[in-house]
Chains A and B, each alone.
Chain A
Amino acid sequence: MSDWIPVDLGAEERAQKAFIRGVEVELFASPYDVPEAIRGHFDEAKNRLIIELRYVGSEPTKVCVYNHVSYTIGESSNRLYGLEIDVHALKVDGIGLSLAPLQQRKGQELSTTIRDQVTGAIDFLLERQPLDIIHENYKLAKDAILAKQDQLFAVA
């Protein structure tokens, strides 16, 4: 299991304009929605890429599976706590190769492909989830993955 990588998105400075009772105000993400650390590793036995997100609070989670991706979601908040991507089923590189040979052969390309799959998986959640409050968390989770992609997908 890899170490947690601290994430500082500066989310507390990202305002969203809103009108409350006719007054324009700036709203900021709940501190519970902002990932504070992230980690990822490949489970070679299962051929799965596992990404986990850590937040200030904790809660019981449930696992939802859509399109070869297992999402670990907060039971109460629907916050994204983790992703498990079936690399084999995604047929990375179009031929469904296992990760190890790919790591040796074309790391940079694989990193980009996997990153796109991961962010695509979050985009899928964003499309499915109509609630604005959860949108914010999914966007922040995606931003955290993109901000730390070099460390997360450093497979080469």
Chain B
Amino acid sequence: MLRQNVSSRWSFVLNATGAISSFLVIVIGALLKLNPTEYPNSPTFQNGLLLSQNWAWLSIPVLAVAAALSQTIRSRIGSNSTWITVNYLLNEYRDALFEKHPTAKDDPEYFHRVTLFKYVGWRWAFALWPWTGWMVPVARTGHVTQSRRIPRFRAPIDDPDNAEGVAGQTFVRRRTIPMPQLPEINAGSSDKDLETYCRRAFVPYGWVAKRVNRKTPRAMPRSLLGIPLEVGGEPWGALVVDSRSESEISRNSALNTIRFKTLMDVLSKLLQ
């Protein structure tokens, strides 16, 4: 699932957990100072006080851990407002990038997308090993194709030659990589076309074959552009522009538009 979606769904819960836990720690700590025998006229309060004090040895550490954990998770996934800003910037950038594209004006928005991939050293997944060294999607333009089915790509830093996808290769090489005019791939495509596609897009044959031969086949992009992304001078991830049009995505538009510089500057600040 995209980081922007996780953040929008969970930030309220995590904020509330952190705030309530912290508040309860303070209250329970303060109640320890009270003497239950001083409240004989309020048996309910007295019982509550006794219960709170008897279990304080457990409740205070548990609540403190819950507060710390919710804060840690929140900082790891980023605040909702950060991701809203990132998404807004990506959409603006996509519009600037494709405004002069020959077909983009007539195409649906999701035919031409920008996806922000982040490099993670470890990825929790219901999948076979390897779990180390992945490019995971964290934000994408538009309001559709945002599901958890956005592919992840291998980017092992101890084996960079085998980085997969334009995202993986862009990250390990720290270079801008354009890959236009990929063959059209569908369930009826020849093995040769499939093989050509896989070689040029740096993706495994089995993965592409599975995507196009499923009950609801996934459309494969015909043109890609990977742009390395840094935060504070360190490689952070990659922006991948994909299009269903085979026309080359203009590097000049991609890198020289003022929105690109704004995007890079703001991303660097937001993602630190």
Residue of A nearest to B250 (CB): A12
The interface bits of chain A over 10-30 (1 if a CB of B lies within 8 angstroms of the residue's CB, else 0) are 001100100011110111111
Known A-B contacts A27-B177, A30-B174; the reply to A12 vs B233 at CB < 8 A is no
Partner of A25, one of B179, B227, B231, B255: B179
Q: Cβ of B261 < 8 Å from any Cβ of A?
A: yes
Are B232 and A28 in contact, with the CB atoms below 8 A?
A: no
Q: A130: shortest Cβ distance to chain B, in Å?
A: 16
Are A31 and B176 in contact, with the CB atoms below 8 A?
A: yes
A58 contacts which chain B residues (CB < 8 A)? 232-233, 268
Q: B150: shortest Cβ distance to chain A, in Å?
A: 22
Residue of B nearest to A16 (CB): B175
Q: Determine the distance from Cα of A123 to Cα of B236 in the docked complex, in whole angstroms.
A: 29
B251 contacts which chain A residues (CB < 8 A)? 12-13, 28
Q: Give residues 28-46 of A contacting B (CB, 8 Å).
A: 28-32, 34, 36
A26 contacts which chain B residues (CB < 8 A)? 178
Partner of B202, one of A20, A59, A60: A20
B79 contacts which chain A residues (CB < 8 A)? none
Chain A: interface residue total (CB-CB under 8 A): 29
Partner of B233, one of A20, A31, A59: A59
Are B175 and A12 in contact, with the CB atoms below 8 A?
A: no
Known A-B contacts A20-B169, A21-B161, A58-B268; the reply to A12 vs B176 at CB < 8 A is yes
Q: Determine the distance from Cα of A16 to Cα of B232 in the docked complex, in whole angstroms.
A: 26
A28 contacts which chain B residues (CB < 8 A)? 175-178, 251
Partner of B234, one of A29, A76, A133: A76
Residue of A nearest to B169 (CB): A20
A56 contacts which chain B residues (CB < 8 A)? 261, 264-265
Q: Cβ of A107 < 8 Å from any Cβ of B?
A: no
Q: Cβ of A101 < 8 Å from any Cβ of B?
A: no
Chain B: interface residue total (CB-CB under 8 A): 30
Known A-B contacts A12-B251, A26-B178, A27-B173; the reply to A60 vs B232 at CB < 8 A is yes
A-B contact count (CB 8 A): 84
Q: Determine the distance from Cα of A91 to Cα of B264 in the docked complex, in whole angstroms.
A: 42
Q: Cβ of A75 < 8 Å from any Cβ of B?
A: yes
Are A57 and B200 in contact, with the CB atoms below 8 A?
A: no
B265 contacts which chain A residues (CB < 8 A)? 56-57
Point out which of B169, B175, B177, B251 has the most chain A C-beta atoms below 10 A from its C-beta.
B175
Residue of B nearest to A79 (CB): B233
Q: A80: shortest Cβ distance to chain B, in Å?
A: 12
B228 contacts which chain A residues (CB < 8 A)? 30-32
The interface bits of chain B over 221-236 (1 if a CB of A lies within 8 angstroms of the residue's CB, else 0) are 0000001101111100
The interface bits of chain A over 60-97 (1 if a CB of B lies within 8 angstroms of the residue's CB, else 0) are 10000000000000111101000000000000000000
Q: Determine the distance from Cα of A36 to Cα of B161 in the docked complex, in whole angstroms.
A: 31
Q: B260: shortest Cβ distance to chain A, in Å?
A: 7
Q: List 5 A-B contacts (CB under 8 A).
A: A20-B177, A30-B176, A32-B230, A57-B233, A59-B232
- Given A28-B175, A74-B233, A77-B234: 9 more A-B contacts, CB < 8 Å: A12-B176, A21-B162, A22-B199, A26-B178, A27-B173, A28-B176, A57-B233, A60-B232, A79-B233
